[in-house]
């Protein structure tokens, strides 16, 4: 049995790395972008397309699945893969991100044990702490399971972040002691918000605990762009070198490049499918634009991005996609999501190739426009 994670190549100049994660449901080649299947399906995109886009792992949200349909029915079906029919690896988050967003809206009560909250679907009171989160994720059966952490808002004050760092550490310890299924791998999460010393403290405490991988959490939750990038570039390198490094919840192309450059291996974000539902797509510079924008000319016979090899760009003109969007034809959400997922996945594939071919610095130079 190969080890869980192997580094195949490291760029000697930047420290960017290419590796492999071995799971029971398949190998994940890193660096990798993970599409988000919030409720057990990537919004608007079927699994066959997700496979064709060569996604290698998808993320599902524990909070959404525990509220409905409940982990019992997914467990009864044989776990996430059997239930959803996505046969590749799954990662589940801890549910913490969603329940703490309730807390920020005053709809939840947090203490050192966990969070009590009223769900937004049925109005029932729930409690999730580290053991509850582990138990739900154990029953969901994902290959990678995230520790239950406290994720404060990007603008939270120092005292709030200090408490979150302490709880995240205590809860991480409980999570590491929780017996998961044999095939499951626990990742721990570093918090600390935008406070450098608290990030350092959290990193030191969390990486003392043994886990299969480590993640940076609470990044891009309302801080400025400079603050986001500072945390990514300062902290990623300090995570253990021989374990996968995951930056949670970032999905702007620029973030992926800064992340890989800083030595990160995994990323996830709802952005590619979320912006698609509003007519948004990643343009040449990988910033996003909308098909309904004024300068988006009707008689434009070009694809969304000239030269893009995605199924949408190889088939349709911008004019046609704009028409579908304005007439609310639901297929347009699929076409735009496919383009957006393709762009992010291929960005990670291109970086992997560049690392292997000893030309990651050249890749950066060539793609500087993506960083502007
Ligand atoms: Zn495209």
What is the average pLDDT across 178-202?
Answer: 97
Rg of the chain over all Cα atoms, to the nearest angstrom: 20
Query: Within 13 A of 153's CA, how many CA atoms are on the CB side?
Result: 10
Determine the distance separating the centroid of ligand 1 and the alpha carbon of 319, expressed in angstroms: 14
Residue 299 has pLDDT above 60, yes or no: no
Q: Which of 170, 268, 299, 301 is catalytic?
A: 268
- Which candidate in 46, 93, 210, 298 is catalytic? 93
Whole-number Å distance, alpha carbon 326 to ligand 1 midpoint, is 19
Q: Does the structure show a pLDDT above 80 at 297? A: no
The verdict on residue 305 lying in a domain is: no
Report which of 163, 225, 211, 233 is spatially closest to residue 191, judged by C-alpha positions: 163
Q: Assess whether 93 carries a catalytic annotation.
A: yes
Q: What is the pLDDT of residues 243-294, one digit of tens each?
A: 999 999 999 998 999 999 999 999 999 999 999 999 999 988 767 889 987 6
Rounded Cα–Cα distance for residues 351 and 348 (Å): 5
Cβ neighbors of 357 (< 8 A, separation 6 or more) are none
Residue 276 maps to a domain: no
Residue 311 lies in a domain: no
Task: Give a yes or no: residue 185 inside a domain.
Answer: yes
Q: Where in the sequence is the domain holding 192, given as residue range(s)? A: 5-269
Would residue 112 show up in a list of annotated catalytic residues for this protein?
no
Whether 186 maps to a domain, the answer reads yes
Looking only at the bridges linking them, the beta strands covering 213-216 and 185-190 are parallel
Those residues whose C-beta lies under 8 Å from the C-beta of residue 331, and which sit 6 or more positions away, are 324
CA of 305 to the centre of ligand 1 (A): 6
| The model's pTM | 0.96
CATH number, domain at 87? 3.20.20.105
Mean pLDDT is lowest, of 111-120, 165-174, 288-297, for 288-297
- What percentage of residues in the chain have a pLDDT greater than 70? 97
Tens-digit pLDDT profile for residues 192-225: 999 999 999 999 999 999 999 999 999 988 888 8
Whether 324 is covered by a domain: the verdict is: no
């Amino acid at each position: 049995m190969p080890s869980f994670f192997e580094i195949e190549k490291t760029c000697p100049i930047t420290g960017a790395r290419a590796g492999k994660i071995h799971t029971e449901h398949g190998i994940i080649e890193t660096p990798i972008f993970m599409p988000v299947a919030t409720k057990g399906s990537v919004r608007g995109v079927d699994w066959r397309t997700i496979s064709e886009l060569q996604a290698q792992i998808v993320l599902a949200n524990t909070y959404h699945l525990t509220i409905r349909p409940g982990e019992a029915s997914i467990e009864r079906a044989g776990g996430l893969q059997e239930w959803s029919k996505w046969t590749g690896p799954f990662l589940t988050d801890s549910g913490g991100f969603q329940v703490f967003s309730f807390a920020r809206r005053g709809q939840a009560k947090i203490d050192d044990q966990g969070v009590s909250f009223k769900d937004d679907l049925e109005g029932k009171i729930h409690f999730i702490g580290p053991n509850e989160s582990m138990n739900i994720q154990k029953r969901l059966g994902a290959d990678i399971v995230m520790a239950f952490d406290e994720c404060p808002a990007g603008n939270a004050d120092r005292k709030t972040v200090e408490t979150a760092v302490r709880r995240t550490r205590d809860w991480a310890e409980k999570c590491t002691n929780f017996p998961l299924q044999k095939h499951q791998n626990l990742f721990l999460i570093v918090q600390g918000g935008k406070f450098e010393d608290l990030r350092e403290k959290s990193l030191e405490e969390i990486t003392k605990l043994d886990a299969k991988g480590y993640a940076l959490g609470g990044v891009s939750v309302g801080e400025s762009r400079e603050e986001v990038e500072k945390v990514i570039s300062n902290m990623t390198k300090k995570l253990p070198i021989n374990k996968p490094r995951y930056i949670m919840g970032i999905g702007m192309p620029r973030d992926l490049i800064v992340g890989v450059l800083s030595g990160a291996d995994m990323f996830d974000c709802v952005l590619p499918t979320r912006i698609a539902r509003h007519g948004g797509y990643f343009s040449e510079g990988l910033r996003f634009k909308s098909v309904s924008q004024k300068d988006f000319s009707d008689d434009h016979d070009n694809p969304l991005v000239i030269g893009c090899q995605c199924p949408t760009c190889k088939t349709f003109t911008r004019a046609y996609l704009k028409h579908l969007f304005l007439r609310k034809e639901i297929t347009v959400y699929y076409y735009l999501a496919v383009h957006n997922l393709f762009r992010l996945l291929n960005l990670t594939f291109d970086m992997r190739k560049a690392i292997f071919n000893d030309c990651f610095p050249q890749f950066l130079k060539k793609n500087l426009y993506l960083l502007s």
